Amino acid sequence: MKRGFKVAVCGKGGVGKTLIAGTLARLLARRGFKVLAIDVDSNPNLHSTLGIAIETPLKPLAYNEELVEERTGARPGGWGLFFSLNPRVDDIPDKFSLVSPEGVRLLVVGMPKAGLGCLCPQNALVKSLVDHIVLARNEVVVLDMEAGLEHFGRGTAKGVDYLLIVMEPTIKSLETARRSITLVRELGIGRVWGILNKVRSDEEVEFINRKSRDLGIDIVSTIPYDDNVVTAEMAGVSILDYDSNSPFVSAVSRLCDILLKDWYGDVPY
């Protein structure tokens, strides 16, 4: 029996990683999957896209100093210390996650605290979680990564099955994709897919397709710029709660179909 899959969403700052990761997680939950969403951003905001009230206290893993020390041998901020790179993680999703209205479990890794020091031990905990978590057929992990490239150096997403590199139609986001792909190949992640977000014209699609082909990245999903996203944000709700038939949600739903078809083939999941 095939296990479930792990997918990480990365890319330049502001390209739409969190909105895509959160919407994908919810759509998978609506299709009956048990979803663990991991917010790896040090400025976490995945919870609101998942439909968890924005003011909810997040209890990041980084603040659970006893747990981090018990599992890794180092207190958060204990830079310069040796810590275990292979800590026990199996109970963490159940014990330390928030649960969204649709049942998506959310694990928030951490925010810096003034003077806390480096977050290496808890990042090791998450890397180990992603590497070693054993998934049943109907279980999925979705990681919302921090903008930029630093997480590649840490190898947080090394254990994923899919890496989605989100781009918008700008040269700068392509440049981030170019730098990412080099690092991704070194990490040995198998399926690396380009996602083009905030598209307003066919010319933009043609332009990015051409450029990304040169980089060896296939664009598997094109998501339009959608004014409903902006309106939903101003209304303080996530786009899925605002309009589940909006162009944005329809495009992420198609991406969800593509992922499921690629992973499970024609076998029912």
Ligand X SMILES: Nc1ncnc2c1ncn2[C@@H]1O[C@H](COP(=O)(O)OP(=O)(O)OP(=O)(O)O)[C@@H](O)[C@H]1O
User: Which stretches of the chain bind Mg ion, using CB under 5 A?
Assistant: 17-18
Strand order in the sheet with 162-167: 98-99, 105-108, 34-39, 139-144, 6-11, 162-167, 191-199, 218-224
Length of the chain: 269
226 binds, among ligand X, Mg ion, none (CB under 5 to 8 A by kind): ligand X
Residue with tokens 């992603």: 130
CB of 173 to ligand X, least distance (A): 10
In the complex, what is the shortest distance from the CB of residue 231 to Mg ion, in angstroms, rounded to a whole number? 20
Is residue 227 classed exposed, middle or buried when 0-12, 13-18 and 19+ CB atoms within 10 A define those classes?
exposed
Q: Between residues 4 and 11, which has the closer beta carbon with respect to ligand X?
A: 11
**Nearest distance from C-beta of residue 88 to ligand X, angstroms:** 29
Amino acid identity of residue 35, one-letter, is V
Positions that interact with ligand X (CB under 6 A): 13-19, 41, 147, 197-198, 223, 225-226, 229-230, 233, 248
Could you give the CA distance from residue 105 to residue 95 in angstroms, rounded to a whole number?
Answer: 10
160 binds, among Mg ion, ligand X, none (CB under 5 to 8 A by kind): none
233 binds, among Mg ion, ligand X, none (CB under 5 to 8 A by kind): ligand X
**Strand 162-167 and strand 105-108: pairing?**
unpaired
| Residue 164 and residue 76 in contact, taking contact as beta carbons nearer than 8 Å | no
Q: Which CB atom, from 16 or from 155, has the smaller least distance to ligand X?
A: 16
Indicate which of ligand X, Mg ion, none lies near residue 216 (CB less than 5 to 8 Å, by partner kind): none
Least Å from the CB of residue 41 to ligand X: 5
